[in-house]
Chain A
Amino acid sequence: MMGFIWFWLVAVMIVGYVVLDGFDLGVGVLHLFLVRTEAERKAALASIGPVWDGNEVWLLAGGGTLYFAFPLLYASAFSGFYLPLMIVLWLLILRGISLELRNHVEVGVWRALLDGVFGLASVLLTIFFGAALANVLRGVPLQADGYFFLPLWTNWQPGVQPGILDWYTVIGGLVALVALTLHGALWLTIKVSGDLAQRARRIVTPLWLVLAALTVVSLVATIAVRPASLYNYFNYPFTFVVPAGVIASLAGIWLLNRKAQPVKAFLCSCLYLFFMLAGACWGLYPTLLPATTGADRNITLQNAISGPHTLAVGLVWWSFGMALAACYIVFVYSKFRGKVDLSSAGH
């Protein structure tokens, strides 16, 4: 029971991270080619300025929760994905620094450089995050002692000894890139005004078409790479509501964006990300990290979970702390609601 609860609590943290940091990553991708003037760029970046750091906290708090609840998984996955994780860290560093510091330097080459770094780091991070999730879904070559070490790529095939990047995980990376770019476009449609908002709204259409195609491809590919993903769905057929939710929220994005209801379209995009991630988690449960080297080496809830006392106490402070956090988050977003007003952007 504790295992079930903590599995889904970690999933909640991941969904929270993707939905929230997702739109600021998306804005990072978009600002590379969507904005035309410095004023527009300022508006786009001001729309995420007060919140991006708080959004990134979900990654840290989620990592901490994972570490605490499933130490074996944390130890095995983080050391096994050593090289790509270090690259992710470097990208997170470059992204945060370039976003915060652009306003501290004058308009010109230096600011353009920082903006370029911010955009490029955002693009690469979305791809890495998508590929990371796909790596977990595909499985890794776990040794008998529960560890592994993955090279960046081998023969691009998801076999027994895959690399971080193969054709399947690249699809995962692309899904994340397109989904989060779309998510960011909808956020911009809400937060900025004028010509930029129109362009953000228009770009949703092509992005949506690509995303719809990629969603179908990734679903089929996941089933092909790890047929066991379907096991839970056939055992509990009512859970097919999750893939149905994916389709419904995709449709919702399309319709509501056409009707110029950006807030509702953005919420549908949040739901899309939620259903995609929930569907992936449910496809794994109760496995945490499948082994390509044989199912008996899978890292599962049973063999990775922390002691029962730890988890029982953790449930108390986690619920209390996240309820508090939800209050600050709602408060901050409500204070910064509405279109970006550049005259009141401080700092």
Chain B
Amino acid sequence: MTPELIHRLHFAFTITFHYLFPQLTMGLALLIVVLKSVALRTGSEQWDRAARFWGRIFAINFVFGVVTGIPMEFEFGTNWARFSRLSGGVIGQPLAMEGVFSFFLESAFLGLFLYGEKRISKLMHWFSAVMVFVGSWISGFFIIVTDAWMQHPVAFDRLPNGQFQVLSFWQLMLNPWGLLQYAHNMTGAVVTGSFVMAAVGAFYLLENRRQAYGRIFLKVGVIAGLVSTILIIFPTGDMHGKYVARNQPVAMAGMEGLFKTEAGAGMVLMGQPNELTGQIDNPIVINDALSFLIYGTTKAEVKGLDQFPQDQWPTALPLLFYAYHIMAGLGTWFVLLMVVSAFLLWRKRLENTRLVLWALLLSFPLPYIANTAGWMTAELGRQPWLIYGLMRTSEGYSNTVSASNGLFTLLGFMGLYALMGLLFTVLIYREISSGPEPAVHAD
């Protein structure tokens, strides 16, 4: 039990739990704007009620996101002091900007959206929904900028005391890694939002209750789901993957489990990386596919792990491989499901095709898994570096916080979050059970 491992787990656990909530709120914020826009254009009370219903789901998720988000900012200082001391001048900037530009906006307009509907005009209420959406997407941007600089440090130099300093504000903000990651990540949030909305719609239709709302949710969820599941693979996933292959070739080799450099490298669909023998056990391979996906030609050479000294290999190779393959595999399932659902929706047969409704209902946890696995791919791929090529993870954690102090608070968070997870499930269950009609809702 080394302090490094404990501090990594501490951050990894708290951020993984945290990101379950923002990925829904960021996706849902967009869909609520859609619901509110239709309500505003058509004057339909039903769409307004649908928006209010998702507003309540949003509110619960938002609170959980806020309270689990505060520890993330603190942990830079508490658990990663040596990293913060040197990099605060760079990544402190987007983190401070997130508070200043996004959280004030988001919290102010969310207050209006949830509590102020009777105090403001319909147009103003719609505008509040738009501002909540804008605020949450700005917030995502600054977090990605922070991570992108750690993945792909740009526009910096070092002061005499070792601190990193930003040389160009705009290059930091427009880091190409960040822009690609932002597009990919936000699309992922929309995938989560649309799967959740479609699942609740499918649930109502399968239960033969509130069919009118079920149809609305299904329609919005499936259309948004179709667009976002395609965008997440092409172009955002494709471009991001190519960029990783060029700028972090060792991470790509780890993701793909490519131990040996090959011209015409194959893509492993399934298998288990064996670090001892340096090969994939029981692989299922598509020949030449990896070379083609990265370089557009089947004959291109792809660098394997053998091109890099072993102390630069990603430290958790099998985990990285599984995370990446789970993300990619689920992404394929998402497109299949949404294409079929959208086709049936267009033919007006979706609400009677119970098998597909069941598939939509049961698939709602999968985007959470895919988004989590995607983040694990990015962060495990960066190891052993904290700032890629510049600072190792072993150089960044707080020296003064011992492993067992770290373990103590990690266990504390685990207990607290387990309790909160239960509470969250009960609350969401109740909201979905009581539905969008106001009379049914307790107070």
| A contact residues around B119 at 8 Å (CB) | 335-336, 344
* Binary flags per residue of A122-152, CB closer than 8 Å to B gives 1, else 0: 0000000000000000000000001111000
A83: shortest Cβ distance to chain B, in Å?
A: 7
Q: Is A260 an interface residue (CB 8 A)?
A: no
Give which listed residue, B95, B107, B163, B416, contacts A67 with CB less than 8 A: B95
Q: Is A172 an interface residue (CB 8 A)?
A: no
Kindly specify which of A73-81, A203-211, A233-241, A249-257 makes contact with the partner chain.
Answer: A73-81
Residues A78 and B81 in contact, CB atoms below 8 Å apart: yes
Residues B67 and A96 in contact, CB atoms below 8 Å apart: yes
Q: Is A34 an interface residue (CB 8 A)?
A: no
Give which listed residue, B60, B104, B117, B412, contacts A328 with CB less than 8 A: B104
Docked complex: A90-121 residues within 8 A CB-CB of B: 90, 92-94, 96-97, 100-101, 103-106
Chain B residue nearest in CB terms to A64: B96
| B contact residues around A68 at 8 Å (CB) | 88-89, 92-93, 95-96
* Binary flags per residue of A19-61, CB closer than 8 Å to B gives 1, else 0: 0000000000000000000000000000001110110110111
Q: Which of B97, B99, B405 has the most CB of A within 10 A?
A: B99
Residues B56 and A61 in contact, CB atoms below 8 Å apart: no
Residues B104 and A89 in contact, CB atoms below 8 Å apart: no
CA of A240 to CA of B430, assembled, Å: 58
Chain A residue nearest in CB terms to B161: A303
Interface of A is mostly: helix
CA of A75 to CA of B396, assembled, Å: 11
| B contact residues around A64 at 8 Å (CB) | 73, 92, 95-100
A110: shortest Cβ distance to chain B, in Å?
A: 10
CA of A342 to CA of B163, assembled, Å: 53
| B contact residues around A148 at 8 Å (CB) | 400
Residues A71 and B70 in contact, CB atoms below 8 Å apart: no
| A contact residues around B166 at 8 Å (CB) | 307, 309-310, 313
Chain A residue nearest in CB terms to B124: A335
Q: Is A161 an interface residue (CB 8 A)?
A: no
Chain B residue nearest in CB terms to A332: B108
Residues A101 and B60 in contact, CB atoms below 8 Å apart: yes
Q: Is A219 an interface residue (CB 8 A)?
A: no
Given A64-B100, A71-B87, the answer on whether A80 and B66 have CB atoms closer than 8 Å is no
CA of A299 to CA of B2, assembled, Å: 29
CA of A347 to CA of B66, assembled, Å: 18
| B contact residues around A54 at 8 Å (CB) | 104, 107-108, 111
Q: Is B103 an interface residue (CB 8 A)?
A: yes
Q: Is B78 an interface residue (CB 8 A)?
A: yes
Given A147-B400, A321-B101, the answer on whether A67 and B77 have CB atoms closer than 8 Å is yes
Residues B108 and A74 in contact, CB atoms below 8 Å apart: no
Given A61-B104, A346-B116, the answer on whether A71 and B401 have CB atoms closer than 8 Å is no
Give which listed residue, A60, A67, A92, contacts B92 with CB less than 8 A: A67
Give which listed residue, B88, B103, B118, contacts A60 with CB less than 8 A: B103
Question: What is the size category of the interface that chain B forms with chain A?
Answer: 35 or more
Residues B398 and A324 in contact, CB atoms below 8 Å apart: no
Q: Is B64 an interface residue (CB 8 A)?
A: yes
Q: Is A63 an interface residue (CB 8 A)?
A: yes
Residues B66 and A56 in contact, CB atoms below 8 Å apart: yes
Q: Is B46 an interface residue (CB 8 A)?
A: no
| B contact residues around A346 at 8 Å (CB) | 114-118
| A contact residues around B210 at 8 Å (CB) | none
Q: Is B63 an interface residue (CB 8 A)?
A: yes
| B contact residues around A332 at 8 Å (CB) | 108, 111-112
* Binary flags per residue of B43-57, CB closer than 8 Å to A gives 1, else 0: 000000000000110
Q: Is A325 an interface residue (CB 8 A)?
A: yes
| B contact residues around A336 at 8 Å (CB) | 111, 115-116, 119
Residues B111 and A50 in contact, CB atoms below 8 Å apart: yes
Residues A50 and B112 in contact, CB atoms below 8 Å apart: yes
Chain B residue nearest in CB terms to A303: B161
| B contact residues around A307 at 8 Å (CB) | 89, 159, 163, 165-166
New A-B pairs, 17, CB < 8 Å, besides A69-B92, A72-B88, A310-B165: A53-B110, A56-B70, A64-B73, A67-B73, A75-B82, A81-B78, A89-B71, A93-B70, A96-B67, A106-B442, A149-B401, A306-B163, A313-B93, A317-B100, A328-B105, A335-B112, A346-B117
25 interchain pairs, CB-CB under 8 A: A50-B116, A54-B108, A57-B99, A60-B99, A67-B88, A68-B95, A74-B85, A75-B84, A78-B76, A79-B77, A79-B78, A79-B400, A80-B400, A82-B401, A83-B405, A93-B70, A96-B67, A97-B64, A306-B92, A310-B89, A314-B93, A325-B104, A329-B104, A336-B111, A347-B55
- By Cβ-Cβ distance, the 8 closest A-B pairs, closest first, are A71-B88, A78-B77, A61-B99, A68-B92, A307-B165, A64-B96, A321-B100, A50-B111
